[in-house]
């Protein structure tokens, strides 16, 4: 499978780093409007995941990393990218600017066969969560959204809990700061996002509930969600408060998730009873890790905590999608 990346932000660069070492997938091109030498620098040196062992050389319109090479472009208009000439099977659309039907069509017009977003996308784009409803993918699918890191964490949890029965669920995703926040206080249309990210615990608005209700119609009107940004560079913790339809015990809930981690959700969901902190999740490939030590119940009220690496876990699912989609090409 020949893969290209459009948008070399946090997710795009991490995908690029991981794809250069994967058999069966060939990264043939990357595109970003930033200065190419700056991109080469950021590709090699990463403050969260460390330094690539090989330098990223920029020569004759290509990046050379060890024995691998890929074309590199600085094109703002995806329709002008040479996806057809490069024989690109799938474009990973990671810029965040083309997550709607008209935007992704630009990649298809340029000759790409398929487009995989790195975000939820608009309602006209199929929302498919790997490990939950990937079976809905068909050979005719041209573009899909794999959701976001928070959706991938929460979907499996709520689906399993709803096998018992959910009356309502409140989700608070304690999440590392992101590029959509400011380093120092500055104007922002969401005032709180404009506050200095490393200085405060900052609640921000998210559309997680909308995505979850779209995926699980039986939970319509039963979910509320907020994300609280905390002063760390990586990692997240989903704090769920769930009103169950019947009394449950912590032991019952932990058993439910422990079995799922070993069986139908193996590789997607992990279960642990170790005394973890967010740094321990860095580089974890699962969509979520249930912390059994923090499960608690009062009557029908359940408190459940799950950890996830918001970058590494999410890119792991995007890579899963590439291998899954490969079967249809």
Q: Is the dihedral of CA 107, 108, 110, 116 positive or negative?
A: positive
First to last CA, the chain: 8
Helix ranges, the chain (H): 10-19, 36-44, 83-86, 101-109, 149-161, 208-215, 250-262, 312-326
Q: Which are the catalytic amino acids?
A: 149
| C-alpha span between 176 and 148 (Å, rounded) | 14
Q: 10 Å Cβ neighbour count for 191?
A: 8
| C-alpha span between 183 and 205 (Å, rounded) | 18
How far does Cα 240 stand from its chain's mean position? 19
Q: Which single residue is written with the structure tokens 């309602």?
A: 123
SS3 of 228, please?
Answer: strand
| C-alpha span between 221 and 174 (Å, rounded) | 22
């Amino acid at each position: 499978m020949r893969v290209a990346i459009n948008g070399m932000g946090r997710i795009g660069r991490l995908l690029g780093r991981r794809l250069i070492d994967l058999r069966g997938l060939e990264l043939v091109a990357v595109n970003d409007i930033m200065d190419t030498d700056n991109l080469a620098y950021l590709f090699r040196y990463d403050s969260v995941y460390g330094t690539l062992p090989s330098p990223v050389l920029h020569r004759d319109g290509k990046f050379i990393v060890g024995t691998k090479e890929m074309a590199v472009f600085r094109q703002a208009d995806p329709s002008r990218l040479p996806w057809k000439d490069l024989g690109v099977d799938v474009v990973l659309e990671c810029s965040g600017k083309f997550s709607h039907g008209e935007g992704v069509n630009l990649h298809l017009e340029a000759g790409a066969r398929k487009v995989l977003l790195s975000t939820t996308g608009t309602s006209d784009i199929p929302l498919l969560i790997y490990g939950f409803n990937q079976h809905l993918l068909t050979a005719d699918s041209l573009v899909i959204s794999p959701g976001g890191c928070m959706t991938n964490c929460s979907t499996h949890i709520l689906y399993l809990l709803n096998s018992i029965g959910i009356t309502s669920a409140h989700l608070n995703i304690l999440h590392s700061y992101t590029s959509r926040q400011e380093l120092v206080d500055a104007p922002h249309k969401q005032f709180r996002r404009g506050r200095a990210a490393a200085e405060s615990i900052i609640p921000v608005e998210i559309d997680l509930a909308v995505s979850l209700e779209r995926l699980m119609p039986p939970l319509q009107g039963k979910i509320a969600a907020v994300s609280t940004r905390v002063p760390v560079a990586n990692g997240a913790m989903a704090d769920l408060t769930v009103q169950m339809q019947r009394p449950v015990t912590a032991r019952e809930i932990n058993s439910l998730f422990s079995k799922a981690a070993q069986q139908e959700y193996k590789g997607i969901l992990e279960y642990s009873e170790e005394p973890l902190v967010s740094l321990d999740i860095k580089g974890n490939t699962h969509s979520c890790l249930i912390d059994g030590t923090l499960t608690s119940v009062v009557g029908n009220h359940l408190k459940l905590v799950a950890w996830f690496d918001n970058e590494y876990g999410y890119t792991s699912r995007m890579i899963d999608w590439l291998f899954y989609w490969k079967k249809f090409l």
